[in-house]
Amino acid sequence: MYGWNLFDYIHARNISSGVSNWKHLVAQMMRCTVPGGYVELSEMEIKAHCDDGSMKADNGLKIYVEHLRESMRKMGRQIVDANLLKNLLEEAGFEDIQTFKAVEPVGPWPKDPKLKKIGAMTLLHTDGVFESYGMAAFSRVLGMDNKQVRDICERARLDSLNKNSHIYCVYYRVYGRKPMTMSMATRRY
């Protein structure tokens, strides 16, 4: 365990599948952050979005994400969004909380040059991410055999390469500052 008031900045990214008690985690982050220091939480929403109907019901990426959500639910994990992250920081006592939401296209399908570049980078990331997130969740939690998991992961990978499916995910980033002074009455850790 880390001591009190050690870190100027604590960053946590894409850890929601491993967190069973967010309030405890954020309280520990508050304890370990120096007065005036920052904590930043960055999480991908576990949901595939599409605004133009190009993601069909049998899309492999959509199916993969639905299985991932189901495994999270079965493990008792919270599905994270900006409101949850903001509320966690508020409840722990952080100040000046800022919330950001970003769209992360899957593939270089957007017309906007910046989103096209982000989509291309996301596509590079997907090559290995499906099995790394899905194997344990689908086999141990959902009870699938390894072949079935690999098939779902491969189908998600292949369908993410389809430039005619305009799928995106939402990424949330929330940060807050630890107050310079905290009375014993306002401490939540």
Question: Whose CA is closest to 188, among 41, 81, 90?
Answer: 90
* Model pTM score: 0.85
For the chain, the domains span: 7-177
pLDDT tens per residue across span 113-166: 999 999 999 988 887 889 988 999 999 999 999 999 999 999 999 999 998 999
Are 4 and 66 spatial neighbours (Cβ–Cβ below 8 Å)? no
